[in-house]
Structure 1
Amino acid sequence: MSAKDRPVMPVRRGSLQARLYLASAFFLIAGLISAVIIYATAPAPDSAAQFYGIANSPQYQQQLEMIGGTGEVVLAEFHQWFDSLWHGKPLAYTVAVLCTAVAAACFLAGHFLFFETRQDQTDDQKS
């Protein structure tokens, strides 16, 4: 059997699409379960650390602005906010949002997956 006699085999779209849908369901379920576990086991925030923290003092803010300008103050506040996402109950929300985004990406990749059939024959061989 030569290459000319072989039938054109289309790429199986269904199996890859089903795997992407299953991956999205897995990420969504695993992520939400993980977020619930993290939320349930997260310790309460320490109010003394927030109250007496050096970054919250007006003197620190003023010195930071004198040294680095307003941009440095904004970057320091952003850094503190970003660091707060990875501890305690905000970590549960972060895990939930990230896993939902990954699940949505897998679902959309499976939904908009378009494969062209494999063309083993050229236009000259078809005629």
Structure 2
Amino acid sequence: MTRGSNPNPAAQLSLLQKRLYLTGAFFALAGLIAAGVIYAMAPAPDAAVSQYSIVDPRYQIELQQIGGNAAVLIAQFHQWFDSLWHGTKLAWTVAVLGIALAGVCFFVGHFFAWSDDESQN
């Protein structure tokens, strides 16, 4: 009997697969709840921060003269990466990381189901 013909596929799941699926569901739910709480409690963005950022043309010109175009690109990347860990962007980051961890758990659980099918044939 193949896995596809069983009306109750959950009955054939191994204990490891069940744990991986439950862990994935936990990560997804916890990530979304945490993201909602962070989003609701995030402070308003500070106007002073945007004044002294990489967007300022004087800063970009000086940085380009000192380190070249690569330095400007690295500084922009660094500022973008730093912005992911504050305010509402942190909520989106937590949500994406929670969903990604859940996806990894579901994929690994599905991989074990696929490898069990191959070993039975």
Alpha-carbon separation, structure 2, partners of 1:60 and 1:99: 36
What's the counterpart of residue 97 of structure 2?
98
What's the counterpart of residue 58 of structure 1?
57
What's the counterpart of residue 43 of structure 2?
43
Deviant stretches of 4+, over 6 Å = none
What's the counterpart of residue 7 of structure 2?
none
What's the counterpart of residue 69 of structure 2?
70
What's the counterpart of residue 22 of structure 1?
22
Alpha-carbon separation, structure 1, partners of 2:25 and 2:53: 44
TM-score, normalised to structure 2, is 0.81
| Number of corresponding residues | 105
| Higher-Rg member (1/2) | 1
TM-score, normalised to structure 1, is 0.77
1:79 deviation in Å?
Answer: 0.3
Alpha-carbon separation, structure 2, partners of 1:28 and 1:111: 17
1:54–1:98 CA distance, 2 compared to 1 (3 A)? closer
Higher RCO structure, 1 or 2 (CA under 8 Å, sep 6+): 1
1:112 deviation in Å?
Answer: 1.1
Q: Secondary structure at the match of 1:86?
A: coil
Richer in helix (by share): 2
- In the alignment, structure 2 segments of 5+ residues that lack a partner are 1-11
What's the counterpart of residue 3 of structure 1?
none
1:54 deviation in Å?
Answer: 4.9
- In the alignment, structure 1 segments of 5+ residues that lack a partner are 1-11, 118-127
Alpha-carbon separation, structure 2, partners of 1:71 and 1:63: 13
What's the counterpart of residue 79 of structure 1?
78
Deviation string for 1:22-65 (max 9, x for gaps)?
Answer: 00000000000000000000001012321x21533211110100
